[in-house]
A and B are shown apart, each in its own frame.
Chain A
Amino acid sequence: MVSELPWDSKTGTLRRDLAEGMMNPACSHALEAALQIKEKHGGHITVFTMGPPMAEEVLFEAVALGADQGALLTDPKMAGADTFITSYILSRAIKKICPDFDLILCGCYTSDSETAQVGPQLAEELSIPGVAYVEHLDIQDRTVRIQRLTDNFLETLEMDLPGLITITTQQYAPRYAPLSGLQDAFERNKIIRLTAKKLGLDSEMSGLKNSPTQIVDVYSPIMDKKNIILKGTAKKIVGQIFEKFDDKIGGAIGKDLKVGKES
């Protein structure tokens, strides 16, 4: 799916100006979680997105759904930012727009690049605790109780606020935007636009140039399954297996089999 999107082969980044914009699916679940928290406990929701000017669409959609305001981080200098730079810019924007936040909710990963890094990196940038891949959360006073599925175990964790949580797509199915909400979102226009200059990032960062990671290539993994019949005695077959697949077996058990062989 990723490789079907319009990638710029020179920079290895997504041509977001050519892709049909939509709210990242996991983020729409995170927004739903935020809306449910607001309905239960009250609060004020600010939605952030970073991208070209057209990314504003998703902020209007978020406000139509019930968010109180949106912030668009847009600047040609931010273009091509990797997850490290993105989380840094986001942290600066959060400190500027809502320095007294209680909880940051992120989608657990994006459907375009699927790194799942921005959430945890953002928690680091803000020096707050963070939990990723959360399915359910419940807030009591200043503590948030979290459930997530790891290795088929349902894990329950507790975290003090302020904190950061990334939400999976298992729960918090997003609601539909009401037409009155959409109409109001555009009439009231609660979107703040932040450039690198406004965030004081001008001299510090310029997106791609400062990104420590570079995407070399993007492609769909090629599944090349075939049945191979090994013949001979058991000893011979085992020998053949290790000869042919030692790198795969080694990778699976986390041991370099060649090292043992050489010694």
Chain B
Amino acid sequence: MDFNPCMKHKVIRKAVRKFAESEIGPLVYEIDRDARFPQEIVDKMRPLNFFGLQISKRYGGAEVDSISYAITIEEISRVCAGIGLCVTVHNSVGSYPIQLFGTPEQKKRFLPPLAGGERIGAFCLTEANAGSDASSVETTAVPDGDEYVLNGTKIFVTNGGVCGCALIFAITDPEDARRSASVFIVEKGTPGFSVGEIEDLCGMRSNPVSSLFLEDCRVPAENLLGRLGDGIKIGLTALDTGRIGVAAQALGIAQAAFEASVRYSQERQQFKRPISSFQTIQNYLADMATEIDAARLLLYRACAFKDSGRPFSAESAMAKLYCSRAATRVTNQAVQIHGGYGYSKEYDVERYFRDAKVTEIYEGTSEVQRMVIARAVLSKRV
């Protein structure tokens, strides 16, 4: 067992870090304050394949392995979790299901613009009465000739405000939502498909999270992803991968908060010496470092399982559960180490603190992750 990163992963980390620090870094404060989606950054990321990480090369993607994917999201999120969110949701749940379940025609049609970042992807499962319980989806798809007519409202859609292509979960039989749940690819500009108000959120403010409305939205039958009734299967598969991205995002936030804390504790003087010389602060830093390391190992293990073709559902749930919890704890501690300054927008740790929380909520809450893990434990899969 070798715990050293291979040269490829080291080089990819350095390359992404260089881009993130130089190009995203200077804008982070402003886009968080103004809740602005930085299209100019997206335009710089597009030719560097940030939007086609897992898409196969024949459709214009980079087709990187899962550890490279996690490192990429981790490094973007270390600088700006809001952009990390845009990239991971686009790549994992927004595009990857088309790569996995799409017909050759669907892949040819939808993947190149997604891989090139000309269209931003979104994954629309959550509704007012459906979140953790995916089988409570109320959006309907009614067949009509060679079309489906979609009606419903999706909420808290990451990338919602800028999405060019959305994967919509809808049911064809309200009596049997679980078995009739299906996924439809809906393009921006389709009549009856519209974007609601951008949410005013606590963190990840540069991401235009919004509601999406479907009002008699007619979608061609060839936009059905997989088969009718494959919705739950597609959703669960997408979320297994999505969790890797969110875990990586949480890890990046924790890493940034940790680095800021180490730096600050060595600079900040109290009682005529740096606060890092106090055992209490050293204990905080030691706990933060340990949690981050454990989180990273769990995450990379889930990635390695995925790349080797082994089932990784429980492993990615563990990684997501632990990384997100590490992120909230580490960022909380980082604010504490920074004292009053940590509570001020003058320092980045305040933003890390706000950004971290939602990683315990979206793409499966911590409670749902525990359900996934417990199911695997009780069926002796882990």
Residues of B within 8 A of A22 (CB): 14
Which positions in A face B, CB cutoff 8 Å?
A: 22, 54, 56-57, 60-61, 64, 176-180, 182-183, 186
Which of A54, A56, A176, A186 lies in contact with B48, CB distance below 8 A? A176
Q: How many angstroms between the C-alpha atoms of A54 and B257 in the bound complex? A: 29
The answer for the CA separation of A16 and B62 in the assembled complex, in Å, is 32
Q: When the two chains form their complex, are residues A180 and B15 in contact, meaning their CB atoms are under 8 A apart?
A: no
The reply to whether A179 and B64 form a contact with Cβ atoms under 8 Å apart is yes
Complex partner residue of A57 from B10, B57, B68, CB under 8 angstroms? B10
User: Assuming A176-B48, A177-B48, is B18 touching A182 (CB within 8 A)?
Assistant: no
Q: A182-B8, A182-B68, A183-B64 are in contact. List 9 more A-B contacts (CB 8 A).
A: A54-B7, A57-B7, A57-B10, A57-B11, A64-B11, A176-B15, A179-B48, A180-B63, A186-B7
A56-B7, A60-B7 as given contacts; A182 in contact with B63, CB under 8 Å: no
Q: Is the CB of B7 within 8 A of A178?
A: no
Residues of B near A60 (CB, < 8 A) are 7-8, 11
C-alpha spacing A260/B41, complex, angstroms? 65
Are B12 and A180 within 8 A (Cβ)?
A: no
Asked whether B14 lies within 8 Å of A183 as measured between CB atoms, the reply is no
Which chain B residues lie closer than 8 Å to A182 at the CB level? Answer: 8, 11-12, 15, 62, 64, 68
Q: How large is the interface on B (under 10, 10 to 19, 20 to 34, 35 or more residues)?
A: 20 to 34
Which of B7, B18, B23, B72 is close to A179, meaning CB atoms less than 8 Å apart? Answer: B72
Docked Cα-Cα span, A228 to B204, in Å, equals 57
Bound-complex Cα distance A21 to B8 (A):
13
Minimum C-beta distance from B185 to chain A (A)? 24
Instruction: Indicate if the CB atoms of A179 and B8 lie closer than 8 Å.
Output: no
A182 to B68, CA, bound (A): 10
Q: Within B294-324, which residues are at the interface with A (CB < 8 Å)?
A: none
Bound-state CA distance A22–B13 (Å) is: 12
- Closest Cβ of chain A: how far from B54's Cβ, in Å? 11
The reply on B50 being an interface residue by CB < 8 A is: yes
Q: How far is it, in angstroms, between the C-alpha of A182 and the C-alpha of B67 when the chains are bound?
A: 14
CA distance A54 to B5 in the complex (A): 13
5 CB contacts below 8 A, A to B, read: A57-B10, A57-B14, A176-B23, A179-B48, A183-B62
Q: How far is the CA of A64 from the CA of B14 in the complex (A)?
A: 13
Q: In the bound complex, what is the Cα–Cα distance between A54 and B62 (angstroms)? A: 24
Complex contacts, B50 vs chain A, CB 8 Å: 179
> Whose C-beta in chain B lies nearest to the C-beta of A186?
B8
Residues in A whose Cβ lies below 8 Å from that of B10: 57
Contact B53 A179 (CB under 8 A): yes
Q: How far is the CB of B90 from chain A (nearest CB, A)?
A: 14
Q: A22-B14, A57-B7, A61-B11 are in contact. Are A176 and B19 (CB under 8 A)?
A: yes
* 44-78 of chain B: CB within 8 A of chain A: 47-50, 52-53, 57, 61-64, 68, 72
Q: How far is the CA of A61 from the CA of B17 in the complex (A)?
A: 14
For residue B57, which residues in chain A have a CB less than 8 angstroms away from its CB? 180
A180 to B50 Cα, complex, angstroms: 9
- For the complex, give the distance between the alpha carbons of A160 and B10 in Å: 40
Contact A178 B47 (CB under 8 A): yes
Cα A178 to Cα B72 in complex, Å, equals: 12
Contact B48 A183 (CB under 8 A): no
A180 close to B11 (CB less than 8 A)? no
**Complex alpha-carbon distance, A182 and B49, angstroms:** 10
Q: A65's closest neighbor in chain B, by CB? A: B15
Residues from chain B with a CB closer than 8 A to the CB of A54 are: 7
Residue of A nearest to B52 (CB): A180
Do the beta carbons of B11 and A179 come within 8 Å of each other?
no
Residues of A within 8 A of B53 (CB): 179
Of chain A, the residue at the smallest CB distance from B57 is A180
Nearest-neighbour CB distance to chain B for A67, whole angstroms, equals: 14
Q: Give the complex CA separation of A179 and B14 in angstroms.
A: 11
CA of A64 to CA of B23, assembled, Å: 19
- In the bound assembly, the distance between CA atoms of A56 and B50 in angstroms comes to 24
- Measured between C-beta atoms, what is the minimum distance from B12 to chain A in Å? 5
Count chain A CB atoms within 10 A of each CB in B15, B47, B49, B50 and give the residue with the most. B15
Measured between alpha carbons, how far is A178 from B15 in the docked complex, in Å? 9
Known contacts A177-B48, A178-B47, A180-B49, A61 near B15 by CB under 8 Å? yes
Chain A residues with Cβ below 8 Å from B12 are: 179, 182
Q: Which residues of chain B come closer than 8 Å to A56, judged between CB atoms? A: 7
User: Are B18 and A176 in contact, CB atoms less than 8 angstroms apart?
Assistant: yes
- Cα A5 to Cα B8 in complex, Å, equals 24
Residues of B within 8 A of A178 (CB): 47-49, 62
Closest chain A residue, CB of each to CB of B7: A57
CB pair B8 A177 closer than 8 Å: no
9 shortest A-B CB distances, which residue pairs? A180-B62, A179-B62, A179-B49, A186-B8, A178-B48, A177-B15, A180-B49, A176-B19, A178-B49
Q: How far is the CB of A16 from chain B (nearest CB, A)?
A: 15
